[in-house]
Structure 1
Amino acid sequence: MASLSKEVLLNRVFSDSKNYPYGFSRSGDFSIAESRALSEYGCLIAALVDGEIAPRDEEDFHFLNAAKGDCAPQSAAERAWLKYQKRINRPKAGSIYGTRKNSVTDDAEGEMAMDIDEDFD
């Protein structure tokens, strides 16, 4: 695998086709400035957080510390990254109807009872 550098990562456009298939700017979750910052700096911050590259300068250390929550975000890219992480890691909505399917259960008299309503004449 080729060695990654900060310059190479800054030239890549960050995208998340799983969570944002139409892009960050078209999702409605991010402003134009946030989507630009996320697209520009997302690959660098992701590589820093995943440990693919080591932080070299003060900006890299601050990106890493802000992403981990050790310090408050100061730049637009850091705020956009934290907002992105909050959005993709939010709990999934559950159904108010539950997850059980209609099942066949035994009745007290030994007959089979179903959870489906029957027509009565």
Structure 2
Amino acid sequence: MAKLTRESLVTRVFSDPKNYPYGFSRSGDFSISESKALSQYGCLIAALADGQLEPTTEEDKSYLASLHGEKPPGTVAEKAWLKYQKRINRPKMGSIYGSHRTSLGDDEDSVVEDSDLEIEMDD
């Protein structure tokens, strides 16, 4: 495996096809500048956050400090990354209707058979 460098990560385009299959700019979650910053700096910030790359510049240290909550995000890339993390890690909502069929109960009265129905028809 090739060694990760800062330059190779900045030139690589970041995408998340699982959570954003049509891209960040078409999702409606991010502004144009945020989606551009995520695409450009996402690979670098992800590598820094995962510990795959050691911070070498002040910009890298600033990214890590904002990720760990030591300072408020200052750049568009930092704000966009924190917003992205909040969006993909939000709890999944369940259906308000449930996922199982409900039964009427175990009573014999709740079960209606076709032979019990009487229908009067007028000619």
Give how far 1:69 is off: 1.9
CA distance in 1: counterparts of 2:38 and 2:96, whole angstroms:
34
CA distance in 2: counterparts of 1:12 and 1:104, whole angstroms:
57
Question: Equivalent residue for 1:44?
Answer: 44
Cα deviation code 1:33-64 (max 9, x no counterpart): 00000000000000000011111111101101
CA distance in 1: counterparts of 2:113 and 2:40, whole angstroms:
60
Moved more, 92-101 or 79-88: 92-101
Question: Equivalent residue for 2:32?
Answer: 32
Question: Equivalent residue for 1:96?
Answer: 96
Q: Aligned pairs, how many?
A: 116
Q: Which segments of 5 or more consecutive residues in structure 1 lack a partner in the other structure?
A: none
For normalisation by structure 1, the TM-score amounts to 0.84
Question: Equivalent residue for 2:54?
Answer: 54
> What does 1:71-86 correspond to in 2, within 5 Å?
71-86=71-86
Question: Equivalent residue for 1:17?
Answer: 17
Distance 1:34 1:105, change over 3 A: same
CA distance in 1: counterparts of 2:33 and 2:44, whole angstroms:
17
Runs of 4 or more above 2 Å deviation:
99-107, 117-121
Aligned sequence identity (%):
63
Q: Which segments of 5 or more consecutive residues in structure 2 lack a partner in the other structure?
A: 119-123
Cα deviation code 1:79-110 (max 9, x no counterpart): 00001001111111111112333469655xxx
Which amino acid is 1:82 matched to?
Answer: L
More strand by share: 1
SS of residue in 2 equivalent to 1:44: helix
CA distance in 1: counterparts of 2:113 and 2:66, whole angstroms:
60
Larger Rg: 2
For normalisation by structure 2, the TM-score amounts to 0.83
Which amino acid is 2:12 matched to?
Answer: R
